[in-house]
Amino acid sequence: MKRLLTAGAAALAIALPGIAGAQSSAVDARAKALEPKLLAWRRDIHQHPELGNTEVRTSRLVAEHLRKLGMEVTTGVAGTGVVGVLKGGRPGATVALRADMDALPVEEKNALPFRSRATGTYEGKTVPVMHACGHDTHVAILLATAELLAGMKSELPGTVKFVFQPAEEGPSDFTPDGKRFWGGRAMVDAGVMDAGRFGPKVDAVFGLHVFSRQPAGKLLWRPGPELASTDNLHITIRGKQTHGAIPWAGVDPIVVASQVVLGLQTIPSRQTEVTKEPSIVTIGQFNGGSRNNIIPDQVELAGTIRAYDARMQDDIHMRVKRTAENIAEASGATADVRIVRMYPATVNDPGLTERMGPTLKRVAGSDAGWGVADKSTGGEDFSFFANKAPGLFVILGVTPPDQLATAAANHSPQFFVDESALIQGVRAMSHLTLDYLSGAQQRRQAAR
């Protein structure tokens, strides 16, 4: 009997039925009714963007709304983060839904009535600020999802944590101890995914990101690696200064650094297994020297490393260090290699992705409304949450179909959001939550 029950639970885990048709229609009706609020929130937040770790106004707006919905709300998490806990009317699993709140040091070029004219301080300088990556939409979508699910509290079989995090794009400045304050990592370190002051331990976490150059309202996802890990690379090549006319009297760090740059390119192209996962090693800064006829003492290189597999990431780090140090040593120079791990790869849990695929397809409504996301070499700190519990990160297209060929990319001053797509984000997050919690309850019953 135990084996039969276990097999039944496994079957339910693979083929999760969606919520009943009438309830599904009711959820969509609730979402539609919230659309005016959704758009008002988005426009207000878009007009008042805030840089990483300075999201004071945004977090206050979020906290006030979650309190009005009757949630247990914690503010000041990882600086300006907010967590709201919604306890359903019935016991069950726990889902976390995450949105990022910060904007970018970008001057908006869109002619919108609610376009940003805000400024902020970035690394000690006053800069224009814009929601050029759509985090304003993420916050608005999650606020609407919170209101929708709070209105179904008595029917909810479990707990939902609404996680609004700061500084996904990184902090606006250095903290007093000289370290950067990164939002997703700091939220996880504060315990938002664990059992404790933020409620029960999280069983599954869902996130969403709007993307340009995808049709408005289209949902995309993929099992396994979806976004790359992100590492900052710094290399200092030290030689011996001399006159440019007598290079043999010194050690030229410019030549050595040039050889290092070329050597590093053989790591992704010749030393890693390209049939497993792609990887990138890019040098974006090459700084050294002060005069045309002086060979300097040292050269500074800076770049980025991207990978999709944690073991490959570690292996690439080892090879970068070995390559730089050995090339430098061969020329009588030295190389100091520093690699700062920023974000792990964002990996969608294969089991969770398979289980929730039917939900997303139902929300999409037709084959044209969904697709398999391409891998992106961009990074996202949703990865920290997905490393603590099975996670699924969904892409939402926000570009009018007739503008796909010319649409500006995320982070552009012309980044534009077709607001008709946002209700699809509310539907996706709401249905994912309800279907997961309902399925978890059914699996528990089948295992008894």
Of 78, 230, 228, 106, the residue nearest 167 (C-alpha): 78
Alpha helices in 267-349 (DSSP H): 310-330
* Token pair recorded at residue 194: 């664990």
- Residue count of the chain: 448
The CA-based diameter of the chain, rounded to the nearest angstrom, is 87
Torsion of Cα atoms, 44 then 48 then 53 then 58, to 10°: -30
What lies within 8 Å, CB to CB, of 417 at 6+ separation is 42, 134, 137, 210, 398
- 83 contact partners, CB below 8 Å, separation of at least 6: 73, 74, 77, 161, 162, 163, 164, 192, 198
CA dist list (Å): 264 to 254, 274, 279: 15, 15, 12
Give the C-alpha distances (Å, rounded to integers) separating 414 from 107, 135, 349, 376, 411: 9, 15, 34, 21, 8
- Measured CA to CA, the distance from residue 342 to residue 138 in angstroms comes to 22
DSSP 383-397: HHHHTTS-EEEEEEE
DSSP 8-state class, residue 25: H
Q: Which phi and psi angles does 385 have, rounded to 5°?
A: -70, -40
Backbone angles phi, psi at 441, to 5 degrees: -65, -40
**204 close to 432: Cβ distance less than 8 angstroms:** no
How would you list the strands of the sheet with 204-215, edge to edge?
72-77, 81-87, 157-165, 90-100, 204-215, 391-399, 219-221, 370-372
Give the alpha-carbon dihedral of 269, 212, 183, 346, to 10 degrees.
Answer: -40
- Angstrom CA distances, 8 to 93, 432, 444, stand at 19, 22, 10
DSSP string, 155-167: G-EEEEEEEEES-
Catalytic residue numbers? Answer: 343, 419
- Distance between CA 368 and CA 360 in Å, rounded? 12
